[in-house]
Chain A
Amino acid sequence: MSVVDHRTAIAGPAKGKPNRLTKNLSSKVAAIPMILTALVVFVGCTIWTIVYSFTSSRLLPKGNFVGLDQYERLWGSSRWLISISNLMWYGVCSLVLTLVIGFTLAALLDRKIRFENTFRSIFLFPFALSFIVTGLVWQWILNPDYGLQGVVRSWGWESFSFDPLYNPDIVIFGILIAGIWQGSGLIMCIMLAGLRGIDEDIWKAARVDGIGTVKTYLVVIIPMMRPVFVTSLVLIAAGIIKLYDLVVAQTSGGPGLSSQVPAMYVYDYMFKAQNLGQGFAASTMMLLSVVIILIPYIYLQFKGTSRG
């Protein structure tokens, strides 16, 4: 290995212009398995899925193409539309609230408070639990007979009513509560790391200029933390799209269809309904939404490097 390296290192400059293909040959050879995996497993399977979403495959993939039929049926299905609207509500609320809560907690911890380590662990702890456990915990907390509502009623407030998981209109917010409880600790940690990366001198300069603490955060610090925000954004967005186990554990899509999400639609139609074509069409739509999120991310990243 090192021999190859050595030779290219000498041969490169001798030719005057380094050959881009043979530069760092050993590391390129080492990367081949990963590149192949990425191409075959990720790209290959993605393309396969998209191609078969245009077929009428049932239990087994079959090559009889039916054009856009699966997509027409998908967008005509009320279950899919409910899933999409749930995901939008969950997505927007979870994105905003997780960022706000995460940043606020991080800013509070950053004020050199006592027991910072303890608080940090407490806030981060929910992230160590799986979605299934989180879902089950909150299913009990939100259970009207045994959970929060039951406790408050037993204190004497008989008319108190809080049963989001049993009310079709607001069930998605019951799931949102659990999602935020689980996810905001991680965002807090990332934000805290970002805040710790800010030079002390900035704070001193702001103080000299007489700018208040809150204003310094909003006007100076947050714009400086753009990469941290981009990272958090992508992490939260990925979590939103793949929302599945939390719903399964809390409501399994009910009451009725009111807390269905796209990932459940994909699973149910691929395996329970034995209709691969329909499941593939739905998962292709999910891929499309991921791509829509990824493009701004790549754009932001690219802009960042070209400037720096």
Chain B
Amino acid sequence: MVTVKKGLGVSLKRKEDIRLLTGNGQFTDDIEKPGMLHLAIVRSPHAHARIVNIDASKAKKLPGVVAVLTGEEALQYSGPLVPTINIFNKVPEVYAIAYKKVRYVGEPVAVIAAEDRYIAEDAVDLIEVEYEVLPAVVTIEDALEPKALLYEEWGDNKQLESRTTIGDIDDAFANSEYVFEETITHNRYTGTPMESRVCIAEYNPGSKKMTVTCSTQAPSQVRTLIAQTLQMPEHNIRVIAPDVGGGYGTKLQANAEIIACIMARMLGKPVKWTEDRVENILTGVHSRDYTCTVKIGFDKDFRITGLQAKLIGNIGVDGTCHAPGTPALSVAGAYFPGPYKVPVYDVEIIGVVSNKAPYGAHRGYGKDIANYPIERMMDIAARKLGISPEELRRRNFIKKDEFPYQQISGPLYDSGDFDKLMDLVMDKIDYQNFKKKQLELRKQGKYIGLGIAAMLEPSGAAVFNGIFNGYQAATVRMTPEGHFQVLTSHQNIGQGVETTIPQVVSQVMDVDIDDIRFVYGDTDITPYGLGPFSSRGATYTVSAVYEAAKMLKEKLLKIAGYLLKEDPENLEMANGTVRVKGTTNPEAAISLKEIGNKVYLWPGPYATVPEGIDCNLEATYTWTSKVVKWEPDEHGRVNLYTTHPTGVFVALVEVDIKTGLVKVDKFVVSHDCGTIINPMIADGQIAGGIAHGIGGVLLEDLAYDSNGLMTNPDFQHYLCPTAMDVSDIETIHMQSPSPFTPLGTKGMGEGGTIPSPAAVANAVEDALSPFGVIVKDLPITPERVLEWIKQGEMQNVKS
């Protein structure tokens, strides 16, 4: 039996997997161009230094070396890096290749083009750079002191500084029954995509056209950045993104890519730069790395009376031009209240620059920063209040009938039901039984723990001022044989769009997804638009595709009505045909293939298309959100996110109190992302997100020493979780469709990452509650666990 694969809510197998799993994918590094040169980058071994002199004479003499380019020489071909995003932050003058000063270990200082990568790397060793070393700003304290200034013209090391107060916070705390304050910190970590960044740039000096093939999430946005930075006409630039091995937010900029463009322009030859893993960890964009002091008040019924947060993020060298990281801190500021009702709110945000690598996006983009301190705080407060963390959350959840909910900090939440999510997950776990088992096992010296974290995932950011502004165009096109192409700038980065986007079109057209192809990854082909970031696919791209498909369907029905001599109102689409509603009479139906054939080929458009209809069998729709509010109100509040998936995540862990090792046994997740397109893919997103979360809380740490040297820039020392380190994950879905998107869908790529660190940290504290352990700095290493147990025991002895 032939099964027709179509529609929403169906776990169809991913169309792209056959290609990828049989080795037929083509990634940028797989591509070779005739006469192509290979680049290697000389990088700074110092965190902060003035460049006194660069002597490339020996390198230039090495056979096979074609060119060496320094930051100063690059000024002939390129301006400074332009801002990717700029909201209320300072914009530094920085370049793709360092000019005058280096500001982090790994910053490009000179670039070599050679006949192959081996020679290029040999030449790196031959370039002599003289530095005048400056004091390194590594920690937040160093930056605030300031130990040195990264950008002398700023006068301080603050890229971002803001404060929003709604209500009288002092008064709220004064009138609270209970007030708790904690300072919560988070380690620095990154997205570690399977494929590092790669860029091939070709420049034709005759046509003045630049073609850039690169591993990016956002071809159109990269095109704009290249045009602005190189000061070239954008219509002469074509960006191609073939198969991309993951992004996780780390491929949303053009900084190193600019280097390849400069070289191609200078040499008039194709050049390839392939980022190696050390370069990726050393200089690829980083995230998290903050300290957050949370103060929270409760009334006698344990309801929140006021919330105050002071967030200081360590941005590293820059989070505006190198990569779009800095505003993540502002996103945190808008979302600290999370799933809870907060009557009074005060938030202060400082983003300091330091001599660490650039700050960028990484699965969560500040929504994780909003989540971790608050979800940790809820557990800490619950323990102090003597009620269960479940109950404390329930008392403060926004209720189902309060959606759409205007959060105090600005966002408008579309839909959700946190109480139901908590019910679902608690039923699955059998909480009472777990608690009983926990006590029994403790008698045997085994320490298991359960940690809850509620999740709110703002998805689909539309940020003013820059390349992340909430614009999405989609074209749906029918071929002469009645099949469909869908064209958008939404890049496939592994999230399953070659399957889910056709599912959306199949829902409208009632055809098999194998008859629909998602076309992406070439700015000369697809409409201008934004790539996947901020979990925006199911909010923006799906909505644009859906509306475009509906427009095309309407046109097809009109043409079919004309050909069948029927009122289009009486027609429907079914299994690749247009027919009179409900009929099985073949005379009252016409296949899409026949329509396509008639319009495009035999006889052609003149006899087949009714008057007043554009005979082009395609439709383009640009979707923008109706609820986005860019103009700040008197408190500076805006609403940038259209949809908000919700969830409750529970981590079950076991801690070995003698070695300090933490094992995550299981994650149980209740999750609501509105209308689900493909449940299997949704589960995969949640699982992948949890893997990132487990990595961040237990293993991954971009460690810098006091000189600003990163001590673990490779995969032997920077520990990503393997499949063996990720627990079993059980996911229960519910669906509260968003009222703000046409299909009720919500983007959901980051939801797994956002709450899982807090769930694990809370579970570790629960497991070790007999010792009064408080989880402090992350990641939770065995060594730290033993320290905390000792500290807890000492506290217990004292009290």
Indicate whether A and B interact.
Answer: no
Give me the interface of B with A, judged by CB distance under 8 Å: none
Give me the interface of A with B, judged by CB distance under 8 Å: none
